[in-house]
Structure 1
Amino acid sequence: MPKIYQHSGSHLFLLFWKASHGVMRYDHKSIAKQGFASLSDFAVLEVLLHKGALPVNTIGEKVLLTSGSITTAVQRMEKKGYVRRERSEGDARVVLVHLTELGREVIVDAFAAHAANLDTLFSEFSEKERTQFADLMRKLGRRSQALTE
């Protein structure tokens, strides 16, 4: 019979699962307070704010959306006047998505408020604990990736 540890893999996963669901509920509520009905809309604008103009498929990879979902999100943001699509000057096959001035205004304010909300969430951790948490999340991510390749 296998030895059962207080912090077995199944117990750690359950703790992680419950915490991640709670964090995601908090995150969605924070984003909704900024006027976004969808996490994907916020994520598209946020990645463009921080990375600049990108091809649609690259945005999808960065915000973990399928090809169809990212196309729909970009179209939604385009209708609102937050983004515009243009063919790349270097490669006409590539369509780049750019923030408009309106989109920049919307996401700069929304991101600042959302970042402050996330700082409130993580204020439970000391600076040392934040560093440990970041290190452990990276380590867990690398391990799970290695085991699924």
Structure 2
Amino acid sequence: MEHEVYKERREDPSLKLFVVLSKATRTILDLAQDDMVRYGLNPTEFATLELLYHRGAQPLQKIGERILLTSGSITYVVNNLEKKGYLERVRSDQDRRVTFAQITEKGRLLLNDIFPQHWKQIEHIMDGLSNEEKQQAIDLIKRLGLHADSLKNNS
């Protein structure tokens, strides 16, 4: 009886999707992170710089929300990037309690240099699917994520 339950679970498409999605995500993230480390940045430093590069100066609290870091972790990351000269802290003119992180010229030059290469690496990692398949995957995974998010918000 136990063996039949196990076999039934192994063949369940929900469980199979969870396992396949988890393994693929881990492998893809590992490859992308290996690429980031080549440039002397850890993944959270890279994500922070990328956010500031594309979205402009951000309040420190918003950075943590956008790249899913705790306030203590974002302080550590911002300190490291500031020591490297890639960003600077700027006090808000409207509210002195709010501090923004802003990419420096050195940080902008770094991303100008490495982002095209990183983008090519991401494209290379995703070459296992055609553009049409990528769009289908985006739509399906987004729908799955929205459903999971609604379950999280209802609990």
Q: TM-score, normalised by structure 2?
A: 0.89
Which residue number corresponds to residue 133 of structure 1?
137
Residue 87 of structure 2 corresponds to residue 83 of structure 1: yes
**How many Å separate the matches in 2 of 1:146 and 1:83?**
36
Q: How does 1:1-149 map to 2 (within 5 A)?
A: 4=8, 6-36=11-41, 38-149=42-153
More helix by share: 2
For the residue of structure 1 that corresponds to 2:90, the secondary structure is strand
**How many Å separate the matches in 1 of 2:112 and 2:144?**
31
**How many Å separate the matches in 1 of 2:113 and 2:53?**
11
**How many Å separate the matches in 2 of 1:136 and 1:71?**
35
Q: Identity of counterpart residues, as a percentage?
A: 36
**How many Å separate the matches in 2 of 1:145 and 1:4?**
27
CA RMSD of aligned residues (A): 1.7
* AA partner of residue 15 (structure 2): S
Number of residues paired by the alignment?
A: 148
The unaligned stretches of length 5 or more in structure 2 are none
Q: CA deviation at 1:50?
A: 0.6
For the residue of structure 2 that corresponds to 1:4, the secondary structure is helix
Higher Cα radius of gyration:
2
**How many Å separate the matches in 2 of 1:42 and 1:136?**
27
For the residue of structure 2 that corresponds to 1:81, the secondary structure is coil
Partner deviation per Cα, 1:48-85 (whole Å, 9 max, x = no partner): 00110000110111111111000100011011111111
